[in-house]
């Protein structure tokens, strides 16, 4: 199952929330993303069907290995792109908003090149 941008955003949100608290529920995701409970419930259902998220009997969400892999990739992109744009002189709020758009569409090749450049490496 290929994830769309929204699915990646949900996984990233679950990762971020799980770093702050061991227990993450759909309501936490709803509040963090400012989405309606039914929208989050529908999305979580799709992520569960795709094998990216599991829920325990109390309703706590946990990323599967596949879900964690996607979430970590997207979150790394978000952090690095935000920092990179900020270093270029972009306002931090704008940089974060732009990074959020870019993180889903940038190719692995381009991201790795930016990552090398940001680390002070060469482009080749």
The per-residue pLDDT for range 38-94, each reduced to its tens digit, is 999 999 999 999 999 999 999 999 999 999 999 999 999 999 999 999 999 999 999
Beta bridge partners of 63: 53
Half-sphere exposure of residue 101: CA atoms within 13 angstroms, side-chain side: 6
C-alpha distances in Å from residue 54, one per residue of 11, 47, 58, 111: 12, 8, 11, 29
5-69: CATH, from 3.30.1330.60, 1.10.3720.10, 1.10.10.10, 3.40.50.720: 1.10.10.10
Give the start-to-end residue ranges of the domains of the chain. 5-69, 72-118
pTM recorded for the entire structure: 0.87
Topology of domain 72-118 in CATH is: Diphtheria Toxin Repressor; domain 2 (1.10.60)
In eight-state DSSP terms, residue 4 is P
Q: Is the dihedral of CA 1, 7, 77, 59 positive or negative?
A: negative
CA angle 12, 18, 19 (to 5 degrees): 95
């Amino acid at each position: 199952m290929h994830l769309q941008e929204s699915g990646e955003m949900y996984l990233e949100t679950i990762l971020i929330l799980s770093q702050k608290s061991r227990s993450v529920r759909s309501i936490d995701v709803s509040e963090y993303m400012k989405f309606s409970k039914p929208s989050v419930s529908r999305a979580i259902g799709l992520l569960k069907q795709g094998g990216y998220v599991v829920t325990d009997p109390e309703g706590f969400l946990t990323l599967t290995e596949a879900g964690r892999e996607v979430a970590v990739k997207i979150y790394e992109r978000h952090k690095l792109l935000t920092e990179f744009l900020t270093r270029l002189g972009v306002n931090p709020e704008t940089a974060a908003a732009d990074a959020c758009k870019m993180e889903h569409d940038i190719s692995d090749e381009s991201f790795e090149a930016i990552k090398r450049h940001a680390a002070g490496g060469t482009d080749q």
